[in-house]
Amino acid sequence: MSAVAGKRIVLGVSGGIAAYKAVEVCRRLMDGGAHVLPVLTRGATRFVGRATFDALASEPVRMSLFDEDDPIPHTTLGQTADCVVVAPATARVIGAYAAGISSDLLTATLLATRAPVVICPAMHTEMWEHPAVAANVATLIQRGVHVVGPEAGLLAGGDEGLGRLSSPGDIVAALGRILAQAANPPSETPDMVGLSVVITAGGTREPMDPIRYIGNRSSGKQGHAFADEAASRGAEVTIVTTVGRSGPPGATVVRVDTAAEMAAATTAAAADADMVIMAAAVADFRPVDPVGVKLKKRDGVPDVELEPTPDILAALGASKPEGQILVGFAAETCDVAANATAKLSGKGADYIVANDVTAENAGFAGDTNEVVVLASDGRMLPIGLRSKRDVARAVLDLVLADRKRRDGRQDPSSGGQEHSRYVSNTVSQEIQ
């Protein structure tokens, strides 16, 4: 059953060009069985019609604080909601919410609820990076508000940068996780509190000229899924990434482009880390002498000499501090187990997470993955097709269970209870 099924969700839509995506958010929530109550600002109706939400949602659109059918609509909405989500959340709405200003029905509802609140920012890069907006978002995070996005991509007016509304699928998935957590709050301290985790994500770009580069098709989704999962479990997260996605609340985000930049940033961050997860797809080769001007087709095929890029995983494995856990990745197209085994033995890693990127619904760009985890003690454990967040969760479950056994924090008489739980819940069988 969907995590949003049966939940009363107030869908706030504010006045940004991304308001059209809220229609898809509404539809997905309805398909998941949620009871959707749309609240639109007047600005939102400049971009989307209220009749659309009237037709799609569970109840008609509400816009006014002075609704004749309900003398206190903001209180009714706030008190009866299981969750309030604002998609898109403009700089104005974020600022008003942070300052406690109830200038319309949406901001009044935000102030009148004790239910989980999720804001999905969308605005131009300059606005998103403005100190005032950053301070308002930080204030809301400190108060327990959940923030989804924004992402990098095309913006209004043909611009490109960080500030694009997260995809409707990502927003609804985040709502499901938040509602599930609210329904089943952890009974004990999250299992990664006090751990420092460094994660790499995305594919590096090695320039040939100011326009062209050698790279790969990595979207960074798996690496960012690890960052989100580790942060939700209490870890102190640093993510070194080539993509424009924001990190989880409280994470340190280091943006890089090339393998050399990723090597420098990761090496520095990993020095004191408890765990390093190398989920990035680092280019194996780079042009020796990239040119400073665009290469022209009329000049013929360029003679590009290549050289190896830094082997970040091997360098980390060679200098790994005692007790640090190092997880590498292997994106393969054939002989997955054999190639990953060779990588595990040659890089000094504790685990290699390997996958066949040619398999259907697995690999680059998609939202799902299917992997095999190879451990340095010889175990090979498959994790079947599931969301990339669930893959991250399963890998961390395994690593943490092994860490507890290694550190003697598990009763030997339990016969490996933690690991057995992982195998029974996550893995169909061990590969012999």
pLDDT at 180: 82
Q: What is the mean pLDDT of residues 154-174?
A: 85
The pLDDT-based confidence of 185 (bands split at 50, 70, 90) is low
Rounded CA-CA distance 425/336 in Å is: 23
Q: What is the pLDDT of residues 247-299, one digit of tens each?
A: 888 889 999 999 999 999 999 999 999 999 999 999 999 999 898 888 888 88
CATH architecture of the domain formed by 8-183: 3-Layer(aba) Sandwich (3.40)
Q: Which residues pair with 352 in a beta bridge?
A: 328, 374
CB within 8 Å of 42: residues ≥ 6 apart:
15, 63, 104
Cα–Cα distances in Å, from 404 out to 184, 325, 392, 409, 418? 24, 12, 18, 5, 9
User: Do the domains spanning 8-183 and 196-426 agree at the CATH topology level?
Assistant: yes
Phi and psi dihedrals of 244, rounded to 5? -90, 10
pLDDT of residue 426 exceeding 70: no
pLDDT at 359: 82
- Residues with a catalytic annotation lie at 216
Q: What is the mean pLDDT of the chain?
A: 86
Annotated domain spans of the chain: 8-183, 196-426
Q: What is the pLDDT of residues 338-389, one digit of tens each?
A: 888 888 888 999 999 998 888 877 777 777 888 999 999 888 888 888 888 8
pLDDT of residue 162 exceeding 90: no
The pLDDT-based confidence of 186 (bands split at 50, 70, 90) is low
Tell me which of 26 and 423 has the higher pLDDT. 26
pLDDT of residue 84 exceeding 70: yes
Rounded CA-CA distance 109/102 in Å is: 8
pLDDT of residue 227 exceeding 90: yes
Q: What is the mean pLDDT of residues 297-321?
A: 91
pLDDT at 411: 39
The pLDDT-based confidence of 188 (bands split at 50, 70, 90) is low
pLDDT at 246: 79
Query: Phi-psi region for residue 250, left (φ > 0), alpha (ψ -120 to 50) or beta?
Result: left
Q: What is the mean pLDDT of residues 182-195?
A: 77
This prediction has a pTM of: 0.60
CB within 8 Å of 45: residues ≥ 6 apart:
15, 63
pLDDT of residue 422 exceeding 70: no
The pLDDT-based confidence of 1 (bands split at 50, 70, 90) is low
Contact 383, 427 (CB under 8 A): yes
pLDDT at 409: 55
At residue 213, what is the residue type? Y
pLDDT at 384: 84
pLDDT of residue 432 exceeding 50: no
pLDDT at 240: 97
Q: What is the pLDDT of residues 377-404, one digit of tens each?
A: 888 888 888 888 889 999 999 999 988 8
Q: What is the pLDDT of residues 22-60, one digit of tens each?
A: 999 999 999 999 999 999 999 999 999 989 999 999 999
pLDDT of residue 111 exceeding 60: yes
CATH architecture of the domain formed by 196-426: 3-Layer(aba) Sandwich (3.40)
